[in-house]
Amino acid sequence: MTEKNEDKYKQFSNKLLDWYDIRRRILPWRAAPGEISNPYFVLLSEIMLQQTVVVTVIPYFIRFVKKWPTINQLAQADFNEIASLWAGLGYYRRAKNLHETAKIISTKHNGLIPNNKEVLLSFPGVGEYTATAIMAIAFDKKANVVDGNIERIFSRLYKIEEPLEHSKKKIRTLSNKYLPCNRNGDYAQSLMDLGSLVCIPRTPRCKSCPVIFTCKLGGRADAGLYPKRLPKKSKKQRYGIFYLLIDNEGSVLFRTNKNERLFANMDVLPSVGWNEEKENFKTSPKIISKDLALFNLDWEILETKINHVFTHFKLDCTVVFFRINKKMTKNLLINKEYRFVKKKDFNQLAIPSLINKILTTFEDKIY
């Protein structure tokens, strides 16, 4: 590395840290200037931030640390409570992984989050990015933290023409050269803030950028076109039936999805045809045949369709409805997999956003 390049990298990090000292975001998991980071807060926030934006995570993070201020308390919590507070945050496997990780740290590491990347990587749900972020932010270790924001910054900084899908390794190599000798946690967070506040996706605010002097695309009209991307693949279409069963008191039938694929350990409406390994519906059902008539009831197909988009597919939901009497309710509850829940108690459940969408759309059926 030449002396000229060393100066360039040092100037970049210094300018960015100076900007961060003035413009840094105030976030509930961040240590105030001069204070030491809380490793539990860093771990919790990084897992919550996986595939979820900051503004969505903030209220969930606050509720979690208010209820479970330490990782030992989180480890001892009932998972149903955790899942209930997680409801609406999405990607529910993260909640299960978080709880399992908390239990491992509590029992095997005396409640102390390890200051060791390899150990962090052994925990459920902790991958390369999360482990690196914890090392930098929680322990101020020199670590090359690269998320989507940082990929965008360096793809513009160097005007990288290869699609991001093919240039991730190159970006990681380039960004590693800019790591400062100290303030590692602040530097990682300064890049995150630069990507969130200035070097934003479509219309970057180049005039406000503290490192525009070194950017090959700084101030150019085509900066928003970077990073380049491969053409998007169309998402596959799936179809499913969701059973909305109401008793004569207005309670709704739920089942707990016991660690199965999507919505693991969440409270859901019974459904069929969309989330199995095989035998998925090819089209939206027009009639409820005998083999689809859950509990052998005469289900009514509701006219309004619900559409929901997941990471890898789109779902067309056919909602069917039936209201049963008290005698029939007792017979159904012989199967302990199911339970009826009153509307006022929905907030005690861990309900995925799709199920909430269905309940909200057809709330006139629930009283």
The residues carrying an active-site annotation are 46
Give residues with Cβ within 8 angstroms of 332, minimum separation 6. Answer: 245, 253, 295, 324, 338
**CA gap 360, 122 in Å, rounded:** 40
Instruction: Provide the β-strand partners of residue 321.
Output: 244, 300
**CA gap 47, 82 in Å, rounded:** 14
**CA gap 8, 6 in Å, rounded:** 5
> Quick check: 235 and 312 in contact, CB under 8 A?
yes
Tell me if the bond preceding 204 is cis, omega within 30° of 0: no
3-state secondary structure of 249: coil
3-state secondary structure of 276: coil
In eight-state DSSP terms, residue 236 is E
In eight-state DSSP terms, residue 235 is P
